[in-house]
């Protein structure tokens, strides 16, 4: 057993594999559904033996996306609205080690800290205290109902981000009791977790952390109040079609809320049939309270040091499973691209990508274009914006699953980051050099947490702000100039969304 007394209470955990592990630690609470969460002020006694509930999951069923079933994470804990908990893993509760706080991804609608992928112990054995957090998701965490309900439900659409901030406040207050340094905290996340890390910086919460690692997600996952209210209107209309009224919203079962949310499609937000970016509906909101109108300037002026990057073939996770794109249906793919780009410039754009990729397969071209739009360009922009040190990376190691069809797909680096690459089902993802890849990620990430600079041994990682240079991370690490800048310029030049 492990025992810790901290400012927020007494916590009993487990000592396993030479690490102290505390699970399901409550960090905040809220009253009614959609209320803002508040830190738990009263000291508590908690047996931290079991991971907390996952936030209710909104898993969309879409005939065009079979990847959802393919990558469904069955290891997540049971769902509940009572989900504001965190997990801690540390080798030494008497030390003062750097702290790394993991914010999970899942498009802001799914995922959880209990996933078997997010095993904390391997990073903790690198000399850091590792924390993972849960937060409200989907319609319970990112749905602005204030305007559409005429103020009856004053949800801002930023409840999920507020939960994350309260978790960081709890960590800042208590982590020294668990062997962590409250003045050296790194937040890191992938996909929606990366969006979240960027937005915590942009919201001006950087007094709570010193570094951020943003894997595959930029600073574009925000909605205006108008857009958020339109999405809320779609939700309310569907909710009424399902046989409920506004008066039922707070008292119905959460499953009812989720079932309504599952029926929504972000494409309904389209204006003049143009493509909707980002491809999600439940988004944080520029409300001039949590996220201020000048959030981009706040982000740029922040002193938080940054690592940000992406995988080579991010979008193949979706395009490869699409019934039309996956079989290279040229007519269908062209129609989709015409929703994104000037029609008289599309052939030029496609030709440029065909040349770069050395292929005339339009499905692969489409995937590369969407990888650039959704991940490459947003990452490039965040790296450029920072006045503090920023380090860019690219992960290009090809996955072996489905005979290599997915390439270096979205989230394919995560088993290496958390050191679970040799466990099923992740052992089938990578090449024989998986141990070397994992070691490189873990040393780079923990060095950055410890020193604010990820460089190690004979590899000197230059800042992106000065050089547009990125680290190509794989079995080996080498510095290259970002090879996609010309592609990014074409997209920015010809896009209509």
Alpha helix (H) residue ranges in 181-323: 192-202, 225-241, 254-262, 295-301, 316-319
DSSP run (H or E) holding 486: helix 485-494
Which of 191, 310, 319, 367 is catalytic? The answer is 191
What end-to-end distance do the CA atoms of the chain give, in Å? 55
φ and ψ at residue 6, rounded to 5 degrees: -130, 175
Tokens representing residue 269 in the block: 């937000």
Q: Give the three-state DSSP class for 439.
A: helix
Give the dihedral of Cα atoms 68, 71, 75, 77; nearest 10 deg. -20
- Mark whether 191 is an active-site residue: yes
Q: Give the three-state DSSP class for 314.
A: coil
Q: How many CB atoms lie within 10 A of CB 327?
A: 9
> Would you call the peptide bond into 425 cis, given omega within 30 degrees of 0 as the criterion?
yes
Q: Give the three-state DSSP class for 45.
A: strand
Backbone dihedral region of 291: left (phi > 0), alpha (psi from -120 to 50 degrees) or beta?
A: beta
Beta bridge partners of 88: 22, 131
The angle formed by the CA atoms of residues 247, 251 and 253, to the nearest 5 degrees, is: 125
For the annotated catalytic residues, the residue numbers are 191
């Amino acid at each position: 057993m492990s025992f810790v007394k901290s400012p927020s209470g007494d916590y009993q955990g487990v000592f396993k594999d030479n690490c102290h592990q505390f699970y399901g630690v409550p960090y905040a609470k809220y009253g009614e559904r959609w209320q803002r969460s508040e830190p738990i002020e009263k000291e508590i006694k908690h047996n931290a033996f079991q991971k907390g509930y996952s936030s209710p999951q909104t898993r969309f069923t879409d005939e065009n996306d079979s990847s959802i079933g393919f990558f469904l994470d069955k290891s997540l804990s049971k769902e509940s609205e009572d989900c504001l908990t965190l997990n801690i893993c540390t080798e030494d509760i008497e030390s003062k080690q750097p702290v790394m706080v993991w914010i999970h991804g899942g498009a802001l609608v799914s995922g959880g800290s209990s996933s078997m992928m997010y095993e904390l112990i391997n990073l903790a054995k690198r000399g850091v205290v590792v924390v993972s957090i849960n937060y409200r998701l989907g319609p319970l965490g990112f749905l602005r109902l204030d305007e559409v309900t005429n103020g009856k439900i004053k949800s801002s659409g930023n409840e999920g981000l507020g939960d994350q901030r309260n978790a960081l406040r709890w960590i800042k207050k208590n982590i020294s009791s668990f062997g962590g340094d409250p003045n050296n905290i790194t937040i890191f996340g992938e996909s929606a977790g990366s969006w979240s890390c960027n937005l915590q910086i942009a919201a001006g919460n950087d007094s709570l952390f010193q570094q951020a690692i943003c894997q595959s997600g930029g600073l574009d996952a925000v909605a205006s109040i108008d857009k958020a209210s339109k999405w809320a209107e779609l939700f309310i209309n569907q909710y009424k079609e399902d046989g409920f009224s506004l008066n039922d919203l707070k008292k119905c079962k959460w499953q009812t809320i989720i079932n309504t949310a599952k029926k929504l499609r972000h494409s309904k937000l389209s204006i003049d049939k143009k493509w909707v970016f980002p491809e999600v509906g439940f988004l944080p909101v520029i409300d001039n309270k949590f996220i201020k109108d000048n959030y981009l300037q706040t982000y740029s002026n922040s002193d938080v040091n940054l690592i940000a990057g992406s995988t080579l073939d991010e979008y193949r996770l979706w395009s490869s499973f699409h019934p039309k794109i996956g079989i290279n249906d040229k007519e269908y793919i062209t129609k989709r691209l015409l929703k994104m780009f000037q029609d008289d410039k599309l052939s030029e754009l496609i030709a440029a990508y065909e040349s770069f990729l050395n292929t005339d397969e339009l499905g692969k071209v489409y995937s590369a274009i969407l990888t650039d739009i959704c991940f490459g360009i947003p990452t490039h922009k965040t790296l450029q914006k920072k006045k503090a040190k920023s380090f860019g990376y690219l992960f290009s190691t090809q996955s072996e699953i489905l005979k290599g069809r997915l390439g270096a797909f979205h989230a394919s680096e995560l088993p290496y980051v958390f050191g679970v690459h040799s466990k099923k089902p992740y052992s089938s993802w990578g090449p024989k050099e998986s141990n070397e890849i994992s070691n490189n990620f873990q040393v780079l990430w923990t060095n950055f947490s410890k020193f604010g600079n990820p460089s190690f041994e004979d590899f000197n990682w230059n800042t992106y702000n000065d050089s547009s240079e990125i680290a190509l991370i794989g079995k080996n690490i080498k510095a290259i100039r970002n090879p996609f800048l010309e592609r990014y310029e074409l997209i920015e030049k010809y896009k209509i969304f």
